[in-house]
């Protein structure tokens, strides 16, 4: 995953416009997330008191969003992340933009504000759409791993998946688990070799000595 961190200029609308226009041409094409302080809002509800986003920098940011197929998953209720101590307004200036073509599912949340800045913190939770729906880990009884026939068939099964893409492996993982469990049931457990009593006379003498010493 590739991430771009942004802190847009706050001094002038012209400086922000230039900043976003340069981002559009200089930022790598394969960036998945753009996070940071954009110092501009694109919706009336993201500024209090409400403010229409008609500036040139807002237009430049919209062009960037459209060109890169970005989406803004706001936190529940779209809480504002900035409080101006001098002017008394609030705004949602800090944003996480995700590319719509990315395989990452983005959820944005706001932890408790520690009050150390005029910006509130954001948390972005990432879930890959490539993740298998069930656990990638499962357990087989240890004695199954001693079955030579099962290990041979298991190696052949994984060799079949070795040349595929991660997407194919994830899609077929549950089927692979079921196949291995089925093979484990089809192959009988390795025979248990009974322990044969020792015929070594010295071993019997040592055992007898231990027994005699325990009774004294």
> Are 112 and 190 members of one domain?
no
> Are 36 and 119 members of one domain?
yes
14-35: b or e for each residue (b if 16 or more CB lie within 10 Å)?
eebbebbbebeeeeeeebbbbb
* Residue, of 120 and 17, whose pLDDT is higher: 17
Residue range 163-176: average pLDDT? 64
> Are 55 and 88 members of one domain?
yes
> Are 84 and 182 members of one domain?
no
State the pLDDT confidence band at 190, using cuts at 50, 70 and 90.
low
Residue range 138-148: average pLDDT? 64
CATH number at residue 29: 3.60.10.10
State the Cα–Cα distance between residues 42 and 44, nearest whole angstrom. Answer: 7
* Residue, of 80 and 188, whose pLDDT is higher: 80
* Exposed/middle/buried for residue 61 (C-beta within 10 Å: 0-12, 13-18, 19+): buried
> Are 86 and 46 members of one domain?
yes
On whether residue 43 sits in a domain, the answer given is yes
What percent of the chain lies above the pLDDT cut of 70? 60
Tell me: pLDDT of 140 over 70.
no
On whether residue 82 sits in a domain, the answer given is yes
On whether residue 146 sits in a domain, the answer given is no
Q: What is the pLDDT of residue 52?
A: 74
- From 113, 128, 143, the end of a domain falls on 128
User: Containing domain of residue 92, as a range?
Assistant: 3-128
Q: What is the pLDDT of residue 63?
A: 94
pTM: 0.56
> Are 19 and 123 members of one domain?
yes
> Are 163 and 78 members of one domain?
no
State the pLDDT confidence band at 206, using cuts at 50, 70 and 90.
low
Q: What is the pLDDT of residue 141?
A: 63
State the Cα–Cα distance between residues 35 and 105, nearest whole angstrom. Answer: 15
Tell me: pLDDT of 179 over 60.
yes
State the pLDDT confidence band at 173, using cuts at 50, 70 and 90.
low
* Phi, psi for residue 153 in degrees, rounded to 5: -65, -35
* Exposed/middle/buried for residue 102 (C-beta within 10 Å: 0-12, 13-18, 19+): buried
pLDDT tens digits, 36-87: 999 999 988 888 988 777 789 999 999 999 998 888 877 767 788 898 888 8
Q: What is the pLDDT of residue 17?
A: 96
> Are 96 and 155 members of one domain?
no
């Amino acid at each position: 995953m590739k991430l771009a961190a942004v802190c847009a200029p706050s001094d002038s609308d012209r400086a922000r416009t230039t900043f976003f226009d340069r981002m559009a041409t200089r930022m790598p094409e394969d960036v998945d997330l753009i996070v940071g302080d954009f110092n501009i809002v694109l919706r009336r509800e993201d500024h209090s008191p409400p403010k229409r986003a008609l500036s040139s920098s807002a237009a430049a940011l919209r062009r960037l969003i459209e060109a890169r197929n970005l989406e803004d998953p706001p936190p529940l209720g779209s809480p504002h992340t900035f409080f101006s101590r001098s002017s008394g307004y609030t705004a949602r200036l800090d944003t996480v933009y995700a590319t719509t073509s990315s395989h990452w599912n983005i959820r944005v949340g706001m932890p408790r504000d520690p009050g150390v800045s005029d910006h509130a913190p954001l948390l972005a939770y990432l879930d890959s759409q490539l993740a298998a729906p069930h656990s990638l880990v499962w357990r087989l009884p240890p004695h199954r791993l001693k079955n030579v026939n099962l290990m041979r068939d298991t190696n052949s099964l994984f060799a079949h998946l070795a040349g595929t893409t991660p997407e194919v492996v994830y899609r077929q993982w549950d089927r692979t688990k079921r196949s291995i469990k089925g093979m484990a049931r089809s192959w009988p457990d390795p025979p248990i070799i009974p322990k044969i009593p020792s015929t070594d006379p010295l071993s019997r003498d040592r055992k007898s000595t231990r027994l005699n010493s325990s009774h004294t």
